[in-house]
Each structure stands twice: as structure tokens, then as C-alpha cells.
Chains A and B, each alone.
With several copies, the nearest count.
Chain A
Amino acid sequence: MTVDEVASTGTEEVTRADIVARAHALAPRLRERAAAAEEARLCPAATIDDYRQTGLIRMIQPRRYGGQEMGWDVLCEVTEILAAACGSQAWIQRICTGHAQILATFLPEAQEDVWGADHDVLISAAFDPVGRARPTEGGYIFSGRHGFSSGIDYCDWHICGGFKELDDGLDGPFFFLVPRSDVEIIDDWRTFSLRGTGSKSFQVTDAFVPEHRTLDVRKARDGRGPGTVVNTAPVYRTPRGGITTTGFAALTVGMAKGVLADWLDYTRPRKSRGVPVGAKDAVQLLAAQASAEIEAAHLLYYTVICNAQRKLEAGETFSELELGTSRRNVGYACKLALEAGTRLFNAAGGRALFEGHSLERQYRNLIGAASHHGVNWENLGVSYGKIILAEDQEAVTTPPEFE
């Protein structure tokens, strides 16, 4: 199946197998466009079109607005496939799909503002709560300078993290939803990694945000956003952290898979002063080590998300230990993926340093994905360790389950 054979956007029913097949079909295009994305420091418009046409960017959008209301497990599967082709473009697919899930937990009026007229509208975000909102008649006057807003050029609405400035101090954090007209994009995304994500900063200055375009982050964290009244699928009741962060693991592991694929293509025919490099035991060992690390990383985070999705669908809740364990495993999966990628790239030699090759681009992207604050091992490791070493915790030996 090629991308073009895929039926265009709409409310048609797609299966999990369909959507995964579409991701596979799209991957070669992402690979072709990877250099251009990097050059432009922006995800190509053609890729955004493809995401819309295939529905890959509406996987967790409400059905009411043309979405598929699929689970996190299949989203991760798709993201990992795309990330193996191009980390930056996959990043946009994952991020925008995730933001649709968040918007679906806002009040129905906010959802209608965004998607009422056009189901294809995308949302960028900047969660760090640096914005400030002063109460006014019917809403807030909001200002903030926000960074790292991936894909912002293609988005018509923006979720901003911030606090309400009440008379008795700060209240929050909250999310504030603002339209593109209230936003000034700042072209500061000059990085050596994940360039193609176009994760620029933006400024909001004294914009009016009506009450219904705010979301209490504390409720969102618990999976109790007001939008869950109309969007009743289990995926909208997801507590933040631990489960949703598997997306970064999917991206990071996918990029590591990309590095491995490129490294194999590069190494298989390679000779070093006449000797085939791939014939050396030591190189075979290295390939196995990196590959086992990547497979372990994949199965580790994927076990987490399959288990979580099953619990969500069964209407179960998550203990602190469960969420902490999920976060920890996401962090460790990213650590393993980075180790694998570093091992491979380090063995590729000086020729691999030249710019414009997929191997070096994927490796640079991997470095960036693995250093995202959401997967910082020191933070995630400590947060789990604190829970498990508290005297009243149940045994650590409880294994995660696939089914």
C-alpha cells in the first residue's frame, strides 16, 4: 500500500492494522525529506499534508471531530516507525497528536473553537508554566514568552503553560489556549539536533483568554479534564506523566532504530584497508549489543504502554508506584537507546562525521531526543527510588505484564 492509495481524510473507520500500514508506507517519504527538513529547520509542508491525509495526526482526536480515538499503544507503534525514518518529522506527528488529546480534555466550547470548522487544525504547545494570566471580565489577560513549541508554524492554536495571578498569589498551573493571531513566533530554533522540528519560541502579549479556554493542569494530570464528559473514550482519562511520556521513548527508540539501520547499511559493504569491517567478530559483537539494547528499550517502554492502555480500557486507576515505574522505564529505555546509538556512531569512523548523511543526522537527533527534560534519568530514577524505598511500599518484584 502506498500513501496515495490511502483514502483521504474523513470520519471513515480505520483499524489499527490500517494505521500501522500507513505509517510504514509513509516512512520512505520522510526519509527522502529529512535533509530538507533539517535545512529548513522545519517539518516540510508535504509531510504535514501526508499526516493529515493518512490520519496519522488525528489518531487521538475525538471522533466527533474526525479523529480515531485510538490508544497510546498504537500511537507509540506508529511514532516509532516514523522516527526510524526521520526523528524530526516524527516528532511533529507525536507532539501534535498528543496535543489533540489534551485539547479533548478542555471544555467542549474550546474544542468547538478549534475544530468546529476544520478537523485538520493542529495545536502546538509549550507546557513550562512561565505565562501569567490576570483575571478580567469573562476570562484572563494572558502574557508569556514560551520556548520549544515544536511544529508551531503549522498550528492555528497554542496551549501555553502558566499561572493565574490572583490577589492572594499565584494559582495553578493552568493551560491557556490561544489562537495564532495572539501569537508572535520567534525564529530562534538554531540547534544541532532535531532541527527539522522547528521548535521555535513564541510570545503572547496581553491576549484575552476566555474562561473556557483554560484547563486546570492538576485535573488534567489526574485524567479528569472537563472534556472527558463529552469525549468518553478511555484515552481521555489518562493521567499525565509515566503513560504519556512513553511518546518520548517511542521517538527516542525509533531514532536509535534509524541509527542502527543506517549504520548497518554503511557498515555492511565497508572495508578498512581491504578487510571487510563486518567480518570482524568485534564488529558483529557491537552490532548485537546495540541491537539488543534497542530491542530491550523498545520492549521495555512498549510493555509499559500496552499495560497502561489495557488498564485504561478496563477503567482501572494507577498507583503512584505504577506511574513512577512507568516513568522510570521510559527514562531507562531512552538511556539504553542513546547508549546503543553512541556505540554505533562511535564505531563508524571519521567518514560518518560528514554532514548530510542520514546516519549522522539520525544520531544528532537521537542526542536531542534523549536529552529532553521529560526523560531525564536523574529525575525519573530518583522519583521512582523514593517511592520504592519508602518503608510501606509493596514489593518491587511485581512484574509488568504484557496483556
Chain B
Amino acid sequence: MATAKKEATIPTREEVLERARAIAPRLRERAEACDAARMVPVETIEDYREAGLFRLAMPRRYSGYELGWDVLCEVSQILAAACGSQAWIQRICADHAEMVAGFPPQTQDEVWGEDHDVIISAAFDPVGRARPTEGGWIFSGRHGFSSGIDHCVWHICGGYIEEDDGSLDGPHFFLVPRQDVTIIDDWHVMGLAGTGSKSFEVKEAFVPAHRFLDGPKARLGITAGQAVNKAAVFRTPRGGITSTGFAALAVGMARGVIQDWIDYTRPRKSRGTPIADKQSTQIIAARSAAELDAAEALYLGTIRRAMAVLEEGGSLSAFDLATSRRNVAFACKTALKAGTRVFNAAGGRALFAPSSMERQYRNLLGAAAHHGVVWDVAATAWGKLVMEGEDW
């Protein structure tokens, strides 16, 4: 199933968005099955591959487009409005491709040398432990929340190097192939079920030295892969900026909920009276839609500013990253508020499952609960810096 080595042309932002819009209706059709199977359908993975949506931030050497996080976010929002779970997989696999581009060139060749369509799952929480050995490490870990793992053949694991004296160095990232991984089917959740974010276990696997990404350096935007991958996107510090994707996903899901609510509400009558004629209904629509525009303007403004800095060769400060994290968390919080308002206004009929509105709302609850977007953590981190005198 190896694909052509290179695509002839790099699509423009507008072309990429058009491809996403073209796929969206299919995601909508498959959303119920996806939720029930607790896994993204293979057809959707194929659609993403055909449209190049996993390649947005992949190196050109492997047929990637090397586009920015801003475009990636726009794609995510379009897909998430159709199905939050399926959109999630596009996003995180595209993100992990950017991350693999930071590993040493040899590793990139191992992953993509034969097949430019390979996708990678991850589990960043640094629960793994790597004991140094000849030419690499012996790695073990039980990792959770590995979205899309069923479709992936390589896996990025968070963990620490455990020195002989018991001291820990890290957190770092280790790349392991599918054969070293046992998938644990524990993904029984009330939101984002379709992401199939199962746990997996690695037991005493040998990880060669080159399948390693230095965590602290990656958080500064410095990687071994930059020797070959020069585009701005590959100089992104991991963390605050890259997490804008979660805002794009959450806002997209909330837009999906509101669209479903509008479709449901337009013809709805309450004992004969059209509900849509009431000012009180109109103002619910306005409030939630305004909140989503605000959330979108906030995260998109943030990521565009960051991409502009990177493209001009600049770097992002710790405070920039903290501001980004704050804005991402605020956008997610606002999206949840907007979605909850309309779901609550839909009344008892909206409880019946399965339906697009209740599924997207549950997905939104899941997205907003992601540890990367916890409001009070992001807010106090930012507030501390600014209280210490940082120029906001």
C-alpha cells in the first residue's frame, strides 16, 4: 500500500480547506457508526489520506505540505463541526507527523521512507521509564489516551530516562513500533468515544538512541530533525502553541452543536407557537454564536500571530506560550458554555440517543475536559507571570 513518493504540487490553504469541506458531509454520515464502534472508520482514514490531510505539517521530503498550525486549525474546525471524534484523529495524527519531523532524519526515514501515508499515535503523559543500555534504552510504560491507535503503526511515548542512580531525566519522547505495543481496549467514555483513545503497554522494548526526541529542547522549539526540516512549522516549541488545535476542535464541535440546534429549532413549535419567533430564543442563538466567534477569533488570532513570528524567523517567549495556553483554555471554556446553553435550550427531546446534537455535545464535553486546556491551570500560570511584571 505504498503510495507515490511525491505529490506534484503543494496545495494552497484554500485548496486544503476546500478538501476538508468536501469530506465533512461524509464524516457526518459516519458519526453514529464511529461513536458506536469507539473507533474512527477506516473509510475516514482513507479519505484523510487521499485528501492529504495527514500531511499538512509533514516534511516535503515525504510528500508533506509543511503548512502552518493556523491552516491546520482551520481544517480541524471544519471537520469537527461535522464529527468531533473523526476530526480529533485528523488533528492529532497531523500534529504527530510534525513531531516525528523533529526526530533524527534516520528515524523519519524508518517511519516514512517506504510509505508516506504512515500515521503515528502518541501518549505524552510521561509515565514511561527508559533504562540506558547499549545503543539506546530498554523502555517500559503503560500509556493512556492514545487517540487513533488502531490505525497507527508507530507510537510516541512520554517518559523519563531512569539513570542507574535512580535519578530521572526528562520528560522525553520515545518512538516505538506497533510490534512493541499491546493495545488495551479500555476506551469506554461518555464523550469522544469515536476517537478510540485506548491505552497501550510497552514492556521492556529496546528503543534505539535515534528514536528519541529531547523533551525540554522540543519545548524550546529545538529538535534534531531541524537539520533537514527547515520550514517555520518545524521550529514550533511544543506546548502552548501546538495546543491551539484543541481550541479549534472544541469550537468546531460547538459550532456543530449550534448548527444542529438551529436546524432543530427553526421549525419547532411549542403548543402551536414557533419557538424561533421568540426574542428569548433569538437571543440564545445570538449569545452562543457570538461566544463561538469570540472563541474562534481568540485562538485563530493567537496562532496566526505565532506563525507570523515563526515565519519571520523569530522565536516565541515563555510568556507568549503562556498567553497562548490561556487563550486556548479560554476558547475551550467559552465553546463549552455556548454549546451547553443551546443543548439545554433544546429540551427533553434532545436527550434521545443517538442523535447528532447529543453526540456532538458529548464530544464537546470530552474536548473541553482535555488536560491540555484546563482553564485554571493555564490562567494561574499566565496570571503569575503577569503579576511578576511581565508586559502583557
Determine which residue in B255, B281, B286, B387 has the highest number of CB atoms from chain A within 10 A of its CB, and name it. B286
Are the C-beta atoms of B266 and A285 separated by less than 8 Å?
Answer: no
A236 close to B (CB within 8 Å): no
CA distance A336 to B388 in the complex (A): 25
Are the C-beta atoms of B387 and A279 separated by less than 8 Å?
Answer: yes
Binds A, one of B102-110, B159-167, B209-217, B288-296: B288-296
Are the C-beta atoms of A402 and B81 separated by less than 8 Å?
Answer: no
A241 close to B (CB within 8 Å): no
CA distance A283 to B283 in the complex (A): 11
Interface residues of A in 350-403 (CB under 8 A from B): 378, 380-382, 384-386, 388-391, 395-397, 399-400, 402
Are the C-beta atoms of A332 and B287 separated by less than 8 Å?
Answer: yes
Are the C-beta atoms of B265 and A389 separated by less than 8 Å?
Answer: yes
Are the C-beta atoms of A278 and B387 separated by less than 8 Å?
Answer: yes
B380 close to A (CB within 8 Å): yes
Are the C-beta atoms of A299 and B383 separated by less than 8 Å?
Answer: no
Are the C-beta atoms of A381 and B296 separated by less than 8 Å?
Answer: no
Q: Which B residues lie within 8 Å of A333 (CB)?
A: 294
Are the C-beta atoms of A284 and B283 separated by less than 8 Å?
Answer: no
Interface residues of B in 368-392 (CB under 8 A from A): 376, 378-380, 382-384, 386-389, 392
CA distance A399 to B252 in the complex (A): 10
B147 close to A (CB within 8 Å): no
B301 close to A (CB within 8 Å): yes
A1 close to B (CB within 8 Å): no
Cross-chain contact of B283 among A285, A295, A396 (Cβ < 8 A): A285
Nearest A residue to B298, CB-CB: A296
Are the C-beta atoms of A385 and B301 separated by less than 8 Å?
Answer: no
Binds B, one of A19-27, A74-82, A144-152, A286-294: A286-294
Interface residues of B in 244-303 (CB under 8 A from A): 255-256, 258-259, 262, 265-267, 276, 278-287, 289-291, 293-298, 300-301
Determine which residue in A288, A295, A396, A399 has the highest number of CB atoms from chain B within 10 A of its CB, and name it. A288
Cross-chain contact of A382 among B286, B296, B382, B389 (Cβ < 8 A): B286
**A378-B283, A384-B282 as given contacts; A295 in contact with B298, CB under 8 Å:** yes
CA distance A118 to B99 in the complex (A): 62
B359 close to A (CB within 8 Å): no
**A278-B387, A402-B304 as given contacts; A389 in contact with B282, CB under 8 Å:** yes
CA distance A287 to B322 in the complex (A): 13
Are the C-beta atoms of B297 and A280 separated by less than 8 Å?
Answer: no
**A381-B287, A382-B286, A389-B276 as given contacts; A287 in contact with B387, CB under 8 Å:** yes
B327 close to A (CB within 8 Å): yes
Are the C-beta atoms of B386 and A287 separated by less than 8 Å?
Answer: yes
Determine which residue in B77, B81, B262 has the highest number of CB atoms from chain A within 10 A of its CB, and name it. B262
Q: Which A residues lie within 8 Å of B378 (CB)?
A: 288
Cross-chain contact of A402 among B278, B301, B388 (Cβ < 8 A): B301
Name the distance in Å between A45's Cβ and chain B's nearest Cβ: 33
**A332-B290, A396-B255, A396-B262 as given contacts; A291 in contact with B283, CB under 8 Å:** no
Question: Is the contact region of chain A dominated by helix, strand, or loop, or is it mixed?
Answer: helix
Name the distance in Å between B184's Cβ and chain A's nearest Cβ: 30
Determine which residue in B256, B282, B327, B379 has the highest number of CB atoms from chain A within 10 A of its CB, and name it. B282
Are the C-beta atoms of B276 and A284 separated by less than 8 Å?
Answer: no
Cross-chain contact of B255 among A260, A291, A382, A397 (Cβ < 8 A): A397
Name the distance in Å between B366's Cβ and chain A's nearest Cβ: 20
Are the C-beta atoms of A284 and B383 separated by less than 8 Å?
Answer: yes
Q: Which B residues lie within 8 Å of A331 (CB)?
A: 290
CA distance A384 to B281 in the complex (A): 11
**A283-B383, A400-B293 as given contacts; A385 in contact with B298, CB under 8 Å:** no
A117 close to B (CB within 8 Å): no
Name the distance in Å between B69's Cβ and chain A's nearest Cβ: 15
Q: How many A-B residue pairs have CB under 8 A?
A: 172
Q: Which A residues lie within 8 Å of B327 (CB)?
A: 292, 295-296
Name the distance in Å between B234's Cβ and chain A's nearest Cβ: 24
CA distance A396 to B262 in the complex (A): 8
Determine which residue in B280, B281, B293, B389 has the highest number of CB atoms from chain A within 10 A of its CB, and name it. B293
Are the C-beta atoms of A284 and B286 separated by less than 8 Å?
Answer: no
CA distance A16 to B301 in the complex (A): 20
Q: Which A residues lie within 8 Å of B287 (CB)?
A: 332, 381
Are the C-beta atoms of B294 and A380 separated by less than 8 Å?
Answer: no
Are the C-beta atoms of B294 and A299 separated by less than 8 Å?
Answer: yes
Are the C-beta atoms of B286 and A267 separated by less than 8 Å?
Answer: no
Interface string of A305-321 (1 = CB under 8 A from B): 00000000000000000
Q: Which A residues lie within 8 Å of B283 (CB)?
A: 281-282, 285, 378, 381-382, 385
**A329-B290, A333-B294, A389-B285 as given contacts; A382 in contact with B379, CB under 8 Å:** no
Nearest A residue to B382, CB-CB: A288
Name the distance in Å between B328's Cβ and chain A's nearest Cβ: 10
A268 close to B (CB within 8 Å): yes
Q: Which B residues lie within 8 Å of A384 (CB)?
A: 282, 285-286, 289-290
Are the C-beta atoms of A285 and B294 separated by less than 8 Å?
Answer: no
CA distance A284 to B385 in the complex (A): 9
B334 close to A (CB within 8 Å): yes
CA distance A267 to B304 in the complex (A): 31
**A267-B387, A284-B384 as given contacts; A296 in contact with B282, CB under 8 Å:** no
B55 close to A (CB within 8 Å): no
Are the C-beta atoms of A389 and B301 separated by less than 8 Å?
Answer: no
Nearest A residue to B267, CB-CB: A391
Q: Which A residues lie within 8 Å of B330 (CB)?
A: 288-289, 292-293, 296
CA distance A388 to B327 in the complex (A): 28
Q: Which B residues lie within 8 Å of A395 (CB)?
A: 259, 262
Cross-chain contact of A389 among B256, B262, B326, B387 (Cβ < 8 A): B262
A233 close to B (CB within 8 Å): no
**A268-B389, A295-B327, A382-B283 as given contacts; A402 in contact with B383, CB under 8 Å:** no
CA distance A119 to B280 in the complex (A): 48
Are the C-beta atoms of B382 and A284 separated by less than 8 Å?
Answer: yes
Are the C-beta atoms of B298 and A292 separated by less than 8 Å?
Answer: yes
Nearest B residue to A277, CB-CB: B387
Q: Which B residues lie within 8 Å of A389 (CB)?
A: 262, 265-266, 276, 281-282, 285
Name the distance in Å between B384's Cβ and chain A's nearest Cβ: 5
A264 close to B (CB within 8 Å): yes
Name the distance in Å between B241's Cβ and chain A's nearest Cβ: 16
CA distance A397 to B388 in the complex (A): 38
Nearest A residue to B328, CB-CB: A292
CA distance A292 to B329 in the complex (A): 9
Are the C-beta atoms of B280 and A285 separated by less than 8 Å?
Answer: yes
A297 close to B (CB within 8 Å): yes
Are the C-beta atoms of A284 and B380 separated by less than 8 Å?
Answer: yes
Are the C-beta atoms of A388 and B383 separated by less than 8 Å?
Answer: no
Q: Which A residues lie within 8 Å of B331 (CB)?
A: 296
Beyond known contacts A390-B276, A399-B255: 20 more, CB 8 A cutoff: A264-B386, A268-B387, A268-B389, A278-B388, A284-B386, A288-B380, A289-B330, A292-B327, A295-B327, A296-B331, A299-B294, A299-B300, A302-B301, A380-B286, A382-B279, A384-B282, A385-B281, A388-B286, A395-B259, A399-B296
6 A-B pairs, CB-CB below 8 angstroms? Answer: A287-B382, A328-B289, A385-B286, A390-B276, A399-B255, A400-B293
Closest 9 A/B residue pairs (Cβ) = A385-B282, A284-B383, A281-B279, A288-B379, A278-B387, A332-B290, A381-B286, A299-B297, A389-B276
